[in-house]
Amino acid sequence: MLTGEIEVRPQPGAAPDECDDSRNVNRTGQADLASSWLLNYPQFMRASLEQALRLVREDRPESLGEALALLQNTVYSFSMKVCGHPQDAEDTAQDVMLKSIPHLAKFDNPKALTVWLYKVARNCCISQRRKAGYSPARNLSLNQLLPSRFELEELLRNPAPSAEETLLSDEDAAQLKQAIMSVPPQYRMVLVMHDMEELSTEEVAQILGLREGTVRVRLHRARLFLRRRLAELAERAQGEGLILHAAAEEARPPLCRQLFAALSDYMDGMIDDAMCDEMDRHLRDCEPCQAFLVSLKNAVAQCRAYAPPCDATRAEQLRKELLPKYEEALAALSTGREAAGNQLA
């Protein structure tokens, strides 16, 4: 059986501060204030992949078609979020499905399938980017992403809607796609996997071959970058001046720096009690930080609400081409098992 176990190694060439392990402590008994800021993760395992694995095990023609549809939609959606172009996403989905077909019947649990499938999809997405040509890797500095005092004051005057109030119009979805594609690739991959595909920190680390602390650092910087980019695009749409750039030289409140650096771990409930209590106290007394946290949580909520459209007719056509290949792979696997059983007899 495929176990999905992947050797985890530090990312070559990572910035020094990206290789520090975070505490990654799931806090129990969160204070009332902290609980109000927690992001709601209904699941860390893709339900569609669990269902696909159940359908594969049923070994019926109609079940196989449904399973391939679920897998194809998962890979296509992920590829669109990472690559941004329908043709690249379609090519990636087709490549992944062809690579997956010989192995699907070997998986004995959905987590192994999840890690393996996303690892193959990630590698295919990177190959597509290389074909198209893209800018070299770029490290994001936390200092560049922290809000200025001026920006915090603007957030107080014009607060962002709460995450629960976030509804994506067509215009919002277009801006969100533009903002996501502007996130540097190494950070975008983590953002898409964790916040948009709802994979756990552990799973993302396994898929990317990173330490969990590095995943947390990249996730937070990706969220901060996305939040800022969405704000810039909203200003442009409203015909306003780019106050974020104009305020770049404004001094940042020194007492807020520690909170800004740990906001993602705070929202995800992954800090210890002592630090959570300290951040709670700061938030009670700092309205600008409260406004910034709402803005960041809203950016994450938009990510999770984004669903790239898929050409259903084209997807069905590709699945029909894949079904015979899967049946051939399944027959070969069965023959191999019978041969192994005969040798043991």
What percent of the chain shows pLDDT beyond 70?
73
Determine, yes or no, domain membership for 5.
no
Residues 175 and 72 in one domain: no
Residues 191 and 301 in one domain: yes
Are 297 and 39 spatial neighbours (Cβ–Cβ below 8 Å)?
Answer: yes
Residues 176 and 297 in one domain: yes
Q: Examine the pLDDT at 210 and tell me if it is beyond 90.
A: yes
The number of distinct structural domains making up the chain is 2
> For residue 260, what are its two tokens?
């800004």
pTM equals 0.80
Residues 146 and 128 in one domain: no
The domain in which residue 201 lies consists of 142-305
Determine, yes or no, domain membership for 174.
yes
Determine, yes or no, domain membership for 18.
no
Half-sphere exposure of 34 (CA within 13 A, CB side): 26
Determine, yes or no, domain membership for 19.
no
Residue 183's nearest CA partner among 218, 133, 208 is: 218
- Residue pLDDT, tens place only, 74-86: 999 999 999 988 8
- Residue pLDDT, tens place only, 119-177: 999 999 988 766 655 555 678 888 888 887 778 778 888 766 655 555 567 777 888 99
> How far, in Å, are 85, 216, 240, 295 from residue 168 at the CA level?
20, 26, 21, 15
Mean pLDDT, the chain, rounded, equals 78
Residues 330 and 276 in one domain: no
